[in-house]
Amino acid sequence: MTARLLLLLLFCSSAVAAAEQPGPSLSRLMIQPAYLTAWKTMLGPDLVPDWVKSFSETLDGPPTPSIKVPVSGDSYTLGFTCKAQDCAGNQLYVLFAPAARQAWGLLITGESHRWLGHPEPPIQEAILSRVE
């Protein structure tokens, strides 16, 4: 009985540790066609700063790992990028649905916050829960 309990605890702690492992950066995610398609759909015709347009073309951004964020019982992927040399004042958080079916973003420029992709309140809350 004690051995089974130890195995169960070991398995559960390993599963939790694996779930908390950082994922690939937004640049690495965007190499995959589904993520790139979700990104482009999210941006749509919205006017975005030049640094966001540049990231879309070059995928050159900080190597910040993505993280898993729970939304309504599913695991979503949150990525991040920012403007080179001015990261504190120009940030973009992007939340991808499972299998990159859809993406939503929060663009922060100075004191201004703008939503991309028309996120519903649970999506907004999930993104805001991770904004530093």
- Write out pLDDT tens, residues 21-35: 899 999 999 999 999
Q: Which residues pair with 67 in a beta bridge?
A: 78
pLDDT of residue 27: 96
Distance CA 85, CA 114 (A): 21
Q: Is residue 15 part of a domain?
A: no
Q: Is residue 8 part of a domain?
A: no
Distance CA 2, CA 22 (A): 32
CA R_g for the chain: 17
Q: Is residue 100 part of a domain?
A: yes
* CA distance to 12, 61, 76, 116, 125, per residue, from 101 (Å): 29, 23, 10, 15, 19
Strand-strand pairing, 67-71 and 74-82? antiparallel
pLDDT of residue 2: 39
Q: Is residue 6 part of a domain?
A: no
User: How does pLDDT run across 57-113, given as a tens digit for each residue?
Assistant: 999 999 999 999 999 999 999 999 999 999 999 999 999 999 999 999 999 999 999
State the residue range of the domain holding 89.
Answer: 22-128
Number of domains in the chain: 1
Q: Is residue 86 part of a domain?
A: yes
Q: Is residue 84 part of a domain?
A: yes
Assign residue 115 the CATH number of its domain: 3.40.1420.10
Q: Is residue 2 part of a domain?
A: no
Please determine, for residue 125, whether its predicted confidence score (pLDDT) is greater than 90. yes
